[in-house]
Structure 1
Amino acid sequence: MLLVVNIGNSNIRFGVFEGDECVNSWVMNTKPYKTEDELYSQFKIAFKNYDIDINRIKDIAVGSVVPHLTYPVRKSLQRLHNIKTTLVSKNTPTELTFMSPQMGTDLYANAYYAFKKYEGTKIVVDFGTALTLTCVDKNGEIKGVVIAPGVITSLKSLIGSTAQLSDIEMRTPKQTLGKDTEECMQSGVIFGFLSMVEGLIDRINKELKEETYVIATGGTGHIFAPLTSKIKIYDRLHTIKGLRELYITQKKEGLQ
């Protein structure tokens, strides 16, 4: 079994793979930041809760966009499994070509799995802490990225900056014009972000002069994907699958 770990700004996602199939996956909150001992205890409990035999994990791949969490997570996993972890990143050599050395590991993984899995030019819309759209063509060239505030990030900012607006359930309202405060906010957040994503897809297609294949992923992607024909597929495990592909490529190259 291969354990793949994606350390994100809001969550740490785990994926346990048997061959090509992700047989188990779960998420832990990243904040507040935890010590190596705390992480070790939480990881141990999670494996027990998900009925995973620690001894069956033979390899561990870690991708991270939170530098100060990378070391304690890797150390706690190594301590738990007695296995040296492999760090994958944008520096992992693949068929992809890209312009920016600042690209995050998650975006690189998104682009790589889209390149390996789907035909033509693709856009991966990641509804995470930040809303990102990563575009890669059929030749593996990363055409560019769009980064905007994420849905939950924007909602928290709105609530924190106003006196009379409180937290709401992330649910699609029945109509655009809300009748109470909760519906009004749901409309603004859900339909507002949906319109932005659709508009950005249209702009990218116009810029590239072609229709792209759009994949959605990320924590709130399941809310938006059914609301638009522009998103062709939702895969909540897209990024973790991309990290696995980076690990496989890195292992083939003999880079650990």
Structure 2
Amino acid sequence: MLLAIDVGNTNTMFAVVDHGEIVHRWRISTQASRTSDEYMVWLTQLMEIDGVDRSKVGRVVISTVVPTTLFNLERMARRGFGIDPLVVTKDLDLGVGIEIAHPEQVGMDRLVNCVAVGDRHEGDFIIIDFGTATTFDIFVGNAYTGGIIAPGINLSAEALYVAAAQLPRVAVAPPRGGKAKGFDTVSAMQSGIFFGYLAMIEGLVARLKAEATGPMKVLATGGLAVLFEPYTRVIDVVDVDLTVRGLTIIDERNRR
């Protein structure tokens, strides 16, 4: 079995992959100060609860956009599983091109998503990843060719609450009834946050498609993808496990 670890700015995903199928997923908040022992205690308990035999984990692959977490995750893999993990970098065989002026600036999570799309889909794509930041990645001709980085919706909602003294903290969700017009403070805020963000997504997708030289599909990933998909026609495919699938492909390609 493969243990795939995807470290984001807010959360870290641990997923167990068995014969190409994702069988278990666990999340923990990303903290640079978390020790290898803390990771191991937390992960071992969850594996026991879900009936996962830790001794059957034969490979570990790690992708991180928070470099300070890497040392303790590698140490956890070696001490807890007796495995030297595969750390995803641009020096590996990714199977996709990077066609921008400064390839070193591209986050590994964005390239991992491109790897998964290139392996599972045909054609050119706009990949929207809803995370701490919302990213739009342009995948054309089996290569990453650029993209957009916008503040994530949770970050935007929190900033509104922090900056405005009389506004409450609200959940990121469409207002009750699904109408844009709000009838109280909470519904007005939810409408502005949710539908305003949705309008940004649709507007940026329209601009990217207008700049493209051919047809493009839109794939959404990240935990909030399923929240937005019912309210817009611009999203063609939702795959919340896209990054883990990409890590699995990279591991297979580089372990041969």
| TM-score (norm. length: structure 1) | 0.93
Query: Which residue identity lines up with residue 11 of structure 1 in the other structure?
Result: N
Structure 2: runs of 5+ lacking an equivalent: none
- Matching of residues 152-163 of structure 1 within 5 Å: 152-163=154-165
Alpha-carbon offset, residue 49 of structure 1: 2.4
Note closer, same or farther for the CA distance 1:95–1:77 as it changes in structure 2 (3 Å cut).
closer
Contact 1:130 1:150 in 2 (8 A): yes
Structure 1: runs of 5+ lacking an equivalent: none
The C-alpha deviation readout for 1:192-237, integer Å capped at 9, x for no partner, is 1111111111111110133311111112111111211110121111
2:248 pairs, out of 237, 244, 250, with: 244
Q: Distance in 1 between matches of 2:129 and 2:54?
A: 30
Q: Distance in 1 between matches of 2:92 and 2:216?
A: 26
Map of 1:187 onto structure 2: 191
Q: Distance in 1 between matches of 2:110 and 2:32?
A: 24
Confirm whether residue 149 of structure 1 aligns to residue 155 of structure 2.
no
Identity of aligned residues (%): 30
- Matching of residues 1-256 of structure 1 within 5 Å: 1-31=1-31, 33-98=33-98, 99=100, 100-137=103-140, 139-173=141-175, 174-252=178-256
Q: Distance in 2 between matches of 1:211 and 1:127?
A: 23
| TM-score (norm. length: structure 2) | 0.93
Alpha-carbon offset, residue 80 of structure 1: 1.6
Contact 1:33 1:69 in 2 (8 A): yes
Alpha-carbon offset, residue 242 of structure 1: 0.8
Query: Which residue identity lines up with residue 208 of structure 1 in the other structure?
Result: A
Alignment partner of 1:48: what SS? Answer: helix
Query: Which residue identity lines up with residue 143 of structure 2 in the other structure?
Result: E
Q: Distance in 1 between matches of 2:143 and 2:6?
A: 23
Q: Distance in 2 between matches of 1:191 and 1:31?
A: 31
Q: Distance in 1 between matches of 2:54 and 2:61?
A: 15
Contact 1:115 1:122 in 2 (8 A): no
Q: Distance in 1 between matches of 2:5 and 2:19?
A: 16
Alignment partner of 2:234: what SS? Answer: coil
Query: Which residue identity lines up with residue 72 of structure 2 in the other structure?
Result: P
The C-alpha deviation readout for 1:50-88, integer Å capped at 9, x for no partner, is 221101111111111100011112212322212221111
Contact 1:136 1:142 in 2 (8 A): yes
Q: Distance in 2 between matches of 1:192 and 1:159?
A: 16
Contact 2:20 2:248 in 1 (8 A): no
Runs of 4+ in 1 over 3 A off after TM superposition: none
Alignment partner of 1:101: what SS? Answer: helix
